Structure 1
Amino acid sequence: MIRVAIVDDERLLRSGLQLMIDAAADLEVVASCSGVDALRQIAETRPHLVLLDIRMPEIDGLTILRELRGWEDPPVVAMLTTFQTDELIAEALRSGARGYLLKDVDPPDLTAAVRSLVSGQSTLAPAVARTVIDGYLRRADETEAVRMVDRLSPREREILRLIAEGLSNAEIGNRLYLSSSTVKDHVSAVLNKLDVNNRVQAAVLAHRARLVEDS
């Protein structure tokens, strides 16, 4: 039997999850509690898997997760939550969670995820997987943008920042006390080094590289 512990501050949710899990012939809920009793009950029942709410009033799930990861033979932990922000997912995965499931998971998906997690695989809810992928692509875009902006000289970076703020060549010249022809030359150099076709594309790169604050 695969032993499962459910840690959540909502008793009704715990009951529903227990019904779904206990309905499977090879799964058994051995502990069901709020965060304040979690470590004691997990230590007493030694489940294979802990389904752990990430936000609870007495003690948050990430704190419990970090404590469990310090045990000599820790259980597998999957976060079970309604929250799917980049920060929470990243922090949970960095802290040792092997899965991240949403509370509206269907019963067959839940029991399949339990078996998969205990067998050594990682499991992310589809919506969470999309968040992780989108976050990865966004960070990749930022990294590439930073690399490209690093090609520029200090003066060219300043020109790019002002382009991204929406200033015209004349306004840039007034701001930096440069002639229009000099600004034009700098702008051309910026576009060439960034390998973009126009000021809008340059401005997008500047924002991705966090050269300017998003507005």
Structure 2
Amino acid sequence: MIRVVVVDDEALIRSGFSLILSAADGIEVVAAVPGGQALEAVAAHAPDVVLLDIRMPDVDGLTVLRHLTELPESPVVAMLTTFDADEYVAQALRTGASGYLLKDTDPDDLAPAVRSLYEGAVVLAPKVVPTVVDGYLRHHRGLDSAAADVSMLTGWERRVLRGLAQGLSNAEIGARLHLSAGTVKAHVGTLLVKLSVANRVQAALWAQRAGVLAEDGNL
């Protein structure tokens, strides 16, 4: 059972997401709270996934995210917003968010997105991918530096990185490479350190910047 906490300042959003997710197989919404209660809810319920509003009147969503990423066993966090061109998205990704969803996400897509987050995949709303990528890359080093960073990876790490850039989960990458999910997770941890990035989203963006996807369509 995937345990989920929904954090949003709007009661309607909290109740709507809770109803949709609670009706899905294998997902349990253990709490739905406004921003000021986010950290308390996470401490009390130890969720696997947190859906976190990026803009709230009572507390800054990025501040909550920062606290969550510092926990010994931090949950996977996806940011929620009504905006498809939010200036805070790049900062959220740098801070450790693993996804970015619009609040008007199709109800049929919400549960699959949560499952993908739980499995370790990068989840970005399709409408914002260009904005996210462009905004992130504008604030980071150039192409030559990215290529140099990627060149430090072993062959296996490079193939795993290509899988991350394709949005695959650890299990999906493992199936394609005939590796266990645990081995893939270890490779992911190593390449994150080598690339000096905080999470899978940032690694995927580096892969795009360095042209890793253009090398080969397959893993």
Q: TM-score range by the shorter chain?
A: 0.5 to 0.7
Matched, 1:4 2:4: yes
Identity of aligned residues (%): 58
User: How far has the Cα of 1:31 moved from its partner?
Assistant: 0.7
Residues 96 and 139 (structure 1), Cα distance of their counterparts in 2 relative to 1, 3 Å cut = closer
Whichever of the two has the greater Rg, that structure is: 1
User: How far has the Cα of 1:114 moved from its partner?
Assistant: 0.3
C-alpha distance in 1 between matches for 2:72 and 2:139: 35
Using structure 2 for the length normalisation, give the TM-score.
0.61
Secondary structure (helix, strand or coil) at the match of 2:6 reads strand
| Structure-2 residue corresponding to 1:13 | 13
Residues 136 and 50 (structure 1), Cα distance of their counterparts in 2 relative to 1, 3 Å cut = closer
| Structure-2 residue corresponding to 1:37 | 37
| Structure-2 residue corresponding to 1:93 | 93
Secondary structure (helix, strand or coil) at the match of 2:78 reads strand
Residues 126 and 7 (structure 1), Cα distance of their counterparts in 2 relative to 1, 3 Å cut = same
Point out where structure 2 has 5 or more consecutive residues left out of the alignment.
145-219
User: How far has the Cα of 1:131 moved from its partner?
Assistant: 1.1
Q: Deviations over 1:127-168 (max 9, x none)?
A: 11121244467779x989xxxxxxxxxxxxxxxxxxxxxxxx
Residues 75 and 143 (structure 1), Cα distance of their counterparts in 2 relative to 1, 3 Å cut = closer
Secondary structure (helix, strand or coil) at the match of 2:91 reads helix
Matched, 1:61 2:96: no
- What amino acid is aligned across from residue 44 of structure 1 in structure 2? A
C-alpha distance in 1 between matches for 2:143 and 2:104: 34
| Structure-2 residue corresponding to 1:128 | 128
Q: Deviations over 1:14-69 (max 9, x none)?
A: 10000110010111100100011110011000000000000111101100000011
Check the 8 A contact 2:48/2:75 in 1, yes or no.
yes
C-alpha distance in 2 between matches for 1:19 and 1:111: 11
Using structure 1 for the length normalisation, give the TM-score.
0.62
Alignment of 1:172-211 (within 5 A): none
Check the 8 A contact 1:99/1:117 in 2, yes or no.
yes
CA RMSD of aligned residues (A): 2.1
C-alpha distance in 1 between matches for 2:65 and 2:93: 10
Alignment of 1:133-144 (within 5 A): 133-135=133-135
Matched, 1:49 2:49: yes
| Structure-2 residue corresponding to 1:77 | 77
C-alpha distance in 2 between matches for 1:120 and 1:33: 24
C-alpha distance in 1 between matches for 2:105 and 2:12: 15
C-alpha distance in 1 between matches for 2:9 and 2:113: 21
| Structure-2 residue corresponding to 1:28 | 28
User: How far has the Cα of 1:88 moved from its partner?
Assistant: 1.1
- What amino acid is aligned across from residue 66 of structure 1 in structure 2? R
Check the 8 A contact 1:100/1:125 in 2, yes or no.
yes
Residues 86 and 143 (structure 1), Cα distance of their counterparts in 2 relative to 1, 3 Å cut = farther
C-alpha distance in 1 between matches for 2:130 and 2:21: 26
Residues 143 and 86 (structure 1), Cα distance of their counterparts in 2 relative to 1, 3 Å cut = farther
Check the 8 A contact 2:90/2:135 in 1, yes or no.
no
Q: Deviations over 1:43-99 (max 9, x none)?
A: 000000000000111101100000011110000000011123353110010010000
- What amino acid is aligned across from residue 109 of structure 2 in structure 1? D
